[in-house]
Chain A
Amino acid sequence: MFKKVLIANRGEIAVRVIRGCHELGIATVAVFSDADRAALHVSQADEAYHLGPASATESYLNIPKVLDVARRSGAQAIHPGYGFLSENARFARACSEAGVKFIGPSAEAMELMGSKTRARQAMQTAGVPVVPGSAKGLSLDEARELATRIGFPVMIKAAAGGGGKGMRLVRTAGEIKSAYETAQSEALRAFNDGELYLEKLIENPRHIEIQILADEHGNVVHLGERECSLQRRHQKVVEEAPSAVVDQDLRGRMGMVAVQAARSAGYSSAGTVEFLVDSAHNFFFLEMNTRLQVEHPVTELVTGVDLVHLQLRIAAGEKLPFRQEDVALRGHAIECRIYAEDPENNFYPSPGRITRLMQPSGPGVREDSGVYEGWKVPLDYDPMLSKLIVHAPDRASALARMRRALDEYFVGGIKTNLPLFRRVLGHPDFVAARIDTGFLDRLLAAPVPVAESSNSLADVAAISAALFAATAAPSAANGRRSDDSQKVSAWKRAARSEGIERL
């Protein structure tokens, strides 16, 4: 086993991997940008090294800088987390050239599965059902021609894409130019690769994915599915395992296809094969993610398997410690992704200082967080703060447990999407598991039901507002943090005008 591992990432996933390493007695090396000196992963790791400016291309995406830290610190392996360099085959190759083990699949497998277009071709060859569309990158004119032929609506997607970036829905021919250009500029920014392809839109599908694990000795298993249909702008928001519509038979068939996909790519480490499932339970290969997924904890909870430990063991050359028939699902797990964004105002990002953080705990509650009270969430990166995950014997009790955990959760100082989860978890269709990838957008388009608050609650709120105003320290109205006094931020100005308004 490795003695020291570098984590080429930030936020909650860096903290998650650090924890997994420490549990296996592995020393950890963190890296950070100018914006992240005070970030949680830096203080949690055994060693931490500065990479560069906040811009990801000059820090977390900068291969020479990351490898230089690996060399200086003596790390034997690099865990890339998700995002950033995790699906960059050039990085995997550079690692092996530098004599550092990349914790993930081979560069060849990544190139094959990481390119959405090549993966589609490979899956078609292997007889795996795929969504109709192009199997290669397209120019705007080609995209328009193909879309007209297979029929609108279509999805334009970045070949190097992931996390919903560089992806646009096109409903009519008139929208295609603007969508193509926006998707391309977003793809160039996020992945430094503007190749786009196109797929027919399957209306109201479920998004269900299979977790696989493969070692370097040819053993491949699947760990069942995750239901990830709750998405906004193609970003997953709530995930669960197992899916309410996947029975033993469908799980077996999807699992077999996923294992076959991994085998045909010569895949090793943890990976995810994503499918769209239509209302008749037909499934279509969507893409393979050649990394640890954000939502991996729900699989960990229902299978009892630690995916980070196994990634480390597989990378160290060990064999999978169990076989397919040993995998059993127990209970039900749900994850909510907590984002710093305002669900009442178009989901605009809401970076800033976390002035109060009250986190849930107790039976069946797990939180994978990358933040702490007093930390200032930078505006330079993804707005995900934390993942709240619950586990219970069945779906109904998992829902009740998540509602309870959400009641305990409070984040002060910035806006978060916590209120959204309360709406989602209380919706009769969600409770009945009647969901598809359009569920959240429809819910958000509907008017917010105005819950009639009891008079006594409004009374308490009025009393409280006055008490807060009366007991606010005078300094609270004039900029809350002295360490900010150098640069007057919009946050502080807003806090000031708020303070003035209150007096």
Chain B
Amino acid sequence: MIYEVIIQGKTRHVELLRAGSGWELKLDGKAFPADIGFPQPGVLSILVDGKSYEVKQQITSVETSIVIGQERFSAVVRDPRSLASRRRAADDGHGVRKITAPMPGKVVRIAAPAGTEVESGQAVLVIEAMKMQNELKSPKKGTVKKIIVSEGEAVEAGQVLAEVE
């Protein structure tokens, strides 16, 4: 199976073949001899020419990354045969920028109601989670086009809260 891995802005081609109890690996067409162990789910032990790497997979609500020691690599993996993964999310375009909730929480205050002229970095909404109030700021200078939530409303991570034009 060949995977396309985008890591550090570069696209790498990784070929994986089961070979007995182990794996035969190719990286960008070149053989990559390594001994692979799976000590526990989400953790890999990789031996490359005697060097030992403990690799952890970090999956959170926002992204997936690969952690080796103190280094973290954000990684996007695609199976090139899958057309669906080629689809890219539609661009916002037309100068409208959305403000989304970075975490689940509760809207405690609307600092800039629809129609307010805002500077880039000016607070538009305040949401509270884990006992801290966090200001969500306008990503651009413009006018608040709409506020999609109301004060007191519970919101989920990624939910669109407001639009600035």
A contact set with B: CB distance below 8 Å: 165, 182, 185-186, 189-190, 233, 340-342, 345-346, 348-352, 355-356, 358, 379-383, 406-407, 410, 412-415, 419, 422, 451, 453, 456-471, 489-491, 493-495, 498, 500-503
Whether A349 and B27, one on each chain, are in contact in the complex, defined by CB atoms closer than 8 angstroms, is no
Q: How far, in whole Å, are A470 and B129 apart by their CA atoms in the complex?
A: 36
8 smallest beta-carbon distances between A and B, as pairs:
A490-B156, A466-B14, A465-B75, A494-B61, A349-B130, A466-B3, A461-B73, A348-B102
Residue ID in chain A nearest B46 by CB atoms:
A460
Whether B42 and A356, one on each chain, are in contact in the complex, defined by CB atoms closer than 8 angstroms, is yes
B71 vs chain A, min Cβ distance (A): 5
Whether A182 and B133, one on each chain, are in contact in the complex, defined by CB atoms closer than 8 angstroms, is yes
Most chain B CB within 10 A, of A414, A457, A460, is at: A460
Residue ID in chain A nearest B123 by CB atoms:
A178
List of A residues within 8 angstroms of B46 by Cβ: 460, 463-464
Most chain B CB within 10 A, of A412, A464, A489, is at: A464
Residue ID in chain A nearest B57 by CB atoms:
A468
List of B residues within 8 angstroms of A407 by Cβ: 69-70
Surface stretch bound by A, among B91-99, B104-112, B140-148: B104-112
B7 vs chain A, min Cβ distance (A): 5
The 8 Å CB contact of B77, one of A459, A465, A495, is A465
The 8 Å CB contact of A350, one of B59, B60, B76, B126, is B60
List of A residues within 8 angstroms of B21 by Cβ: none
Whether A351 and B42, one on each chain, are in contact in the complex, defined by CB atoms closer than 8 angstroms, is no
Whether B157 and A490, one on each chain, are in contact in the complex, defined by CB atoms closer than 8 angstroms, is yes
Whether B56 and A453, one on each chain, are in contact in the complex, defined by CB atoms closer than 8 angstroms, is no
Q: How far, in whole Å, are A382 and B132 apart by their CA atoms in the complex?
A: 8
List of A residues within 8 angstroms of B72 by Cβ: 419
Q: How far, in whole Å, are A468 and B75 apart by their CA atoms in the complex?
A: 11
Within 8 A of A (CB), among B71-88: 71-73, 75-79, 82, 84-85
Within 8 A of A (CB), among B40-67: 40-44, 46, 48, 51, 53, 55-64, 66-67
Whether B56 and A410, one on each chain, are in contact in the complex, defined by CB atoms closer than 8 angstroms, is yes
Known: A412-B58, A465-B5, A470-B16. A349 touches B103 (CB 8 A): yes
Known: A349-B103, A351-B129. A467 touches B36 (CB 8 A): yes
In the assembled complex, B158 has its CB within 8 A of some CB on chain A: yes
B contact set with A: CB distance below 8 Å: 1, 3, 5, 7-8, 12, 14, 16, 23, 25, 27, 32, 34, 36, 38, 40-44, 46, 48, 51, 53, 55-64, 66-73, 75-79, 82, 84-85, 102-105, 108-109, 126, 128-134, 156-159
Known: A463-B46, A470-B16. A355 touches B103 (CB 8 A): no
Known: A345-B102, A351-B103, A379-B105. A461 touches B156 (CB 8 A): no
The 8 Å CB contact of B70, one of A186, A422, A495, is A422
Q: How far, in whole Å, are A279 and B7 apart by their CA atoms in the complex?
A: 45
Q: How far, in whole Å, are A468 and B8 apart by their CA atoms in the complex?
A: 18
List of A residues within 8 angstroms of B73 by Cβ: 453, 458, 461, 465
B23 vs chain A, min Cβ distance (A): 7
List of B residues within 8 angstroms of A502 by Cβ: 64, 76-78
Whether B60 and A413, one on each chain, are in contact in the complex, defined by CB atoms closer than 8 angstroms, is yes
Whether B7 and A348, one on each chain, are in contact in the complex, defined by CB atoms closer than 8 angstroms, is no
Most chain A CB within 10 A, of B34, B60, B62, B78, is at: B60
Q: How far, in whole Å, are A339 and B76 apart by their CA atoms in the complex?
A: 26
Most chain B CB within 10 A, of A345, A350, A413, A462, is at: A462
Whether A462 and B156, one on each chain, are in contact in the complex, defined by CB atoms closer than 8 angstroms, is no
List of A residues within 8 angstroms of B40 by Cβ: 356
Whether A457 and B68, one on each chain, are in contact in the complex, defined by CB atoms closer than 8 angstroms, is yes
The 8 Å CB contact of B55, one of A355, A461, A498, is A461
Whether B42 and A355, one on each chain, are in contact in the complex, defined by CB atoms closer than 8 angstroms, is yes
Whether A470 and B3, one on each chain, are in contact in the complex, defined by CB atoms closer than 8 angstroms, is yes
List of A residues within 8 angstroms of B79 by Cβ: 469, 503
- A and B contact pairs by CB, cutoff 8 A, 7 listed: A182-B126, A379-B129, A412-B57, A460-B55, A465-B66, A466-B16, A470-B1
Known: A349-B129, A470-B1. A462 touches B12 (CB 8 A): yes
Q: How far, in whole Å, are A469 and B105 apart by their CA atoms in the complex?
A: 31
